[in-house]
Structure 1
């Protein structure tokens, strides 16, 4: 009788150990799945944040460029008025009626510079100066910096196609359009939008 009780007790302990092992395995699987789900959710959040940010940057640049006005004035110490628009692949200077950061009082025209990785400043740098004013671009002040911008490229459209640079003083006109390509990197994730083409109000050559 005693041996049988011992056998039954031993069998019960084995079952308990097996049950505990099974429960432990199930918990490990459950927590492992939860960890995967949390990491996937975090990746989704990072992806959404990165996409939203690059979209916001691109739309801000495009909106300001779309307000470009073929403004003529003296540039720096040059006595003759010229079309205030100049650009390279990584920098564009223009006068707009839709500045990215409007002044506290209504201003008709603002000189704006968008530059990328210029003068030791990583990412996007935005400079502004209200007009009329001397040195519209030379004395423009830094309004905004965004080091998360990891790629920024401009191209300029005329009747012959796209160009890598533009000189309004030489051409005596603004381009027909500007193509903007933007990429940002946040938390190690890089997002790049397809190029945006912005149509401009052109100034006829004079």
Structure 2
């Protein structure tokens, strides 16, 4: 007995109805459509989640860039004595930077030092108030994590005397004229330091 005769025997054949095979095919097609729709919703939700995460990351990086910008704008040629020589507290390389700022100091006219460090995709931060007799000993270690998964952070320093950008800045008698800050995919920011040419200074 053929499959069609068998189906007709148990289901019957009506011109206005559906055969069992037609029902099975219809259900299969509907199931496939449902799966495709579900996959579409899933992919759409994943894309939305990724987009939201990227927006949040960009906003966070913009906030960090703004903070660094304001702190550098308020940087001050605060001097300490190292090896019997008075030097301005500003030191940096391509991945780290440490300086003194008046921004958000604990009291009007006060000072605090801040340090940024980018290592293994993580941006670290540390700060302390001045005066501090143990400043050089307190700088390294115990950094706070500001942001994870930061692909790139780099700093460059402009020397007015040499009229060029430098990859590092050591303790010296003055602040750099400008600082270039690059964080991930954002456009680099250039911060002109107002007190880079000032002779006024605060000592420990």
Q: What is the TM-score with the length of structure 2 in the denominator?
A: 0.76
The CA RMSD measured in Å over matched residues stands at 2.9
Residue 188 of structure 1 corresponds to which residue in structure 2? none
2:182 matched to which residue of 1?
181
Partner of 1:161: 164
Structure 1 residue aligned with 2:132 = 133
Could you say if the C-alpha distance between residues 137 and 181 of structure 1 is closer, same or farther in structure 2, counting changes exceeding 3 Å? Answer: farther
User: Matches of residues 8-47 of structure 1 in structure 2 within 5 Å?
Assistant: 8=14, 11-47=18-54
Q: 2:79, 2:95 → 1: CA distance?
A: 23
Residue equivalent to 2:61: 54
Q: What is the aligned partner in structure 1 of residue 189 from structure 2?
A: 196
Corresponding residue of 2:80: 73
Tell me, yes or no, if the aligned pair for 2:70 and 2:103 is still in contact at 8 Å. Answer: yes
Flag the 1:123–1:17 CA change in 2: closer, same or farther, 3 A.
Answer: closer
Superposed CA deviations along residues 56-77 of structure 1, whole A, max 9, x for unmatched, are: 32222222222101122324xx
C-alpha change, 1:67 and 1:143, in structure 2 (3 Å) is farther
Alpha carbons of 1:122 and 1:33: their partners in 2 closer, same or farther (altered >3 Å)? closer
> Quick check: which one's strand share is greater?
1
- How far residue 193 of structure 1 moved from its aligned partner, in angstroms, is 1.6
TM-score (norm 1): 0.75
In structure 1, distance between residues paired with 2:113 and 2:165: 24
Aligned residues: 186
Q: Which residues of 2 match residues 61-140 of structure 1 at below 5 A?
A: 61-75=68-82, 78-98=83-103, 103=106, 108-117=110-119, 123-140=122-139
Secondary structure, counterpart of 1:22 in structure 2:
helix
Q: Does 88-97 or 57-66 show the bigger shift?
A: 57-66
Contact 2:121 2:152 in 1 (8 A): no
Gaps of 5+ in 2: 1-7
Listed one character per residue, the Cα deviations across residues 12-65 of structure 1 (whole Å, up to 9, x for unaligned) are: 433322332232122122112112211211221222122222223222222222
- Indicate conservation of the 8 Å contact 1:111/1:137, yes or no: no
For structure 1, the residue ranges without an aligned partner over 5 or more in a row are: 184-191
TM-superposition CA deviations, 1:144-196 (whole Å, max 9, x none):
22443342211011231211122342xx211111111123xxxxxxxx22211
